[in-house]
Amino acid sequence: MMERYDLENRLEALQETGPPPEYGPELRNLAPLIRKFLPMDSNDLVTIKADQVLLRVSADILRLCSAIREPISSPLIVSGLTAARLNNFLTVVAAKTIQTQFSPSFGDWTSALHAAIQLGCGEIRTVAIDSMESQAAALQPVPLVQLGLKYHVPNWVIQGFTCLIERREPVSAEEGASLGMETGLAIYRSREALSRARSQSISKDDSCTTIGLINKEPSLRTPNFENLEELRFPAPSETLLDFADPSHNQSNLIDLLIGDTVWTVTIPTLGSTPYFLDRAERFNTPEGGQSPIVDLTGEVEKTELESYLLLVNARRFKHATEKSLGLNFQQWVGALRLATLFGHSEARRFAIGFLEHQLKQHDPFDVIDAAKACNVDEWLESQYIRIAEGRNFPSEEEGQRLGATSVLAVCNLREKVVYRSGKENGYRSGKEDGYRSGKEDGYRSGQEAEFQAGFDGGFKSGFDGGFKGGFDAGFKAGFEK
């Protein structure tokens, strides 16, 4: 955290007092630039005042909200929405896909949901409801009903009604009072009808199920959802002597320059890494101002920076289930290289985790190049083995890509693979031939033994039978005479 504040303080010093002595008294002049901004990050910053707090955010965020209409004035005074709720709403919007530590409490999500409904932001409303689902299910039925009625979530209302109707414990006086007379009586009638159906073993047709009973009661079928306070946008006063919110007052902007193109981003977007400390300079811009800039020309490619900024600026509410972010393999590698170069550990970990699941889909030589460029040594062994076990011997060009040491190691490994494969094939072939030969010999031997046994048995049987039959017949005939 100290590094982050050091960097932000350094940039503030550049903006307010000019360059520190080590940059020299002369400022470099910049040629006309192509300026680029990240969506929902730093383009068209608007100052919002809620309660007595000032928040400075991108107009792109406000364009998500149907309650705020164009043109968006700055400063924008919002009445009817607390600063705490607006802060939580902006925290959810600003939460990046690559952040590992993002765990708002149930109260924070409720606050963000409240603001999302007031502002008319359906995307954040959906995210908040989905994120609250498991914790909401653990609430007692009456608070769950009240939460669903307040924030227009029918599923929560139905779940609460179902629990009150089906549970064995009676509805208490406090619960009935909280629900209101009409709803409380409807719950009691539904409980009685369900109890009677169970005691009389009535078959459960639609009218005897809990949902059927809820649909019979108008106050349960179409409950009275609440309407939150509508927002008002009074005209701003001449002066804004208020407290600036530290979380959403994005004053620390920095420009990243490559050739004739400059990207304006915020320090939090870059991950507040120490790489940018002591690298910011001040330039005279064609627009007549002076801006802190980090010149990356010759060190970073434009396509790499585009991919990296897309990765670090990806929002959870847009990209939570779309980890590819629309980047191909080479773009991911470029983003990973810059995450490594800039020291953004979370972005690096996220990119490595995504790419590891698709390494087998790509050429092993490309993966090895990426592993070396991005310092991911754990990818190398598996790719060397893939090359050694491949059908084709590495070409001269591929050998140059690997380097002399690596290609010799791969060739040695390939020899072992071929030897082991031949040995295993010979063993398997010999084993199969021996098995087949033994089987045939055994069959032939068994067949001959069976014939001999049959011959011997038949001969003996016939001889014994004939001798005995003739002897008995002759003896009997002589005796009778």
**φ, ψ dihedrals at 421, nearest 5°:** -65, -45
Taking the C-alpha atoms of residue 328 and residue 307, their distance in angstroms, rounded to an integer, is 10
Per-residue confidence (pLDDT) for residue 341, from 0 to 100: 95
Angle at 127 (CA atoms; ends 126, 132), nearest 5 degrees: 100
Give the model's confidence band at 23: pLDDT under 50 very low, under 70 low, under 90 confident, else very high.
Answer: very low
Sheet of 45-50, strands arranged across: 76-78, 45-50, 53-58, 243-249
Beta-strand pair 53-58/243-249: parallel
The alpha carbon of residue 248 and the mean position of all alpha carbons in its chain are separated, in whole angstroms, by 25
CA dist 328 to 39, 299, 362, Å? 21, 22, 11
When pLDDT is cut at 50, 70 and 90, the band that residue 302 belongs to is very high
CB of 85 closer than 8 Å to CB of 114 = yes
AA identity, residue 272:
S
Per-residue pLDDT, averaged over 328-338, amounts to 96
Instruction: Give 444's pLDDT tier (boundaries 50, 70, 90).
Output: low
Question: What is the spatial distance between Cα 413 and Cα 384, in angstroms, rounded to a whole number?
Answer: 9
207, pLDDT greater than 50: yes
What number of other Cβ atoms are within 10 A of residue 196's Cβ? 11
Task: Convert the pLDDT of each residue in 239-258 to its tens digit.
Answer: 655 677 766 765 577 889 99
3-state secondary structure of 264: strand
How far from 316 is each of 70, 121, 205, 215, CA to CA, in Å?
A: 25, 15, 44, 37
Q: Tell me the C-alpha distance between 86 and 56, whole Å.
A: 12
Give me 160's structure tokens: 């609460």
Q: What pLDDT band is residue 123 in, cutting at 50, 70 and 90?
A: very high
Q: Within the chain, how many helices (H) and strands (E) appear?
A: 20, 10
CA distance 87 to 85: 5
Distance CA 32, CA 360 (A): 45
Q: Which two tokens stand for residue 328?
A: 């191909």
Which phi-psi region, left, alpha or beta, contains residue 153 (left: φ > 0; alpha: ψ -120 to 50)?
beta
Q: Given pLDDT bands bounded at 50, 70 and 90, which one contains residue 452?
A: low
- Assigned token pair, 460: 């003996």
Decide if pLDDT at 456 tops 60: no
Average pLDDT over residues 419-436: 55
CA dihedral 390, 396, 399, 401 (to 10 degrees): -110
| Beta-bridge partner residues of 376 | none
Residues 343/275, Cβ–Cβ less than 8 Å: yes
pLDDT in tens, 264-284: 888 778 877 788 877 777 655
Please say if the pLDDT value at position 344 is more than 80. Answer: yes
- Kindly tell me the sign of the dihedral angle through the C-alpha atoms of 319, 323, 325, 326: negative
Contact call for residues 39 and 67 (beta carbons, < 8 A): no
As given in the structure block, the two tokens for residue 54 are: 């000032």
Q: In the structure encoding, which two tokens stand for residue 461, read together?
A: 């049987």
Alpha carbon 359 to chain centroid distance? Answer: 18
Q: Comparing 163-172, 387-396, 443-452, which segment has the lowest mean pLDDT? A: 443-452
Give me the mean pLDDT over the 351-372 stretch: 93
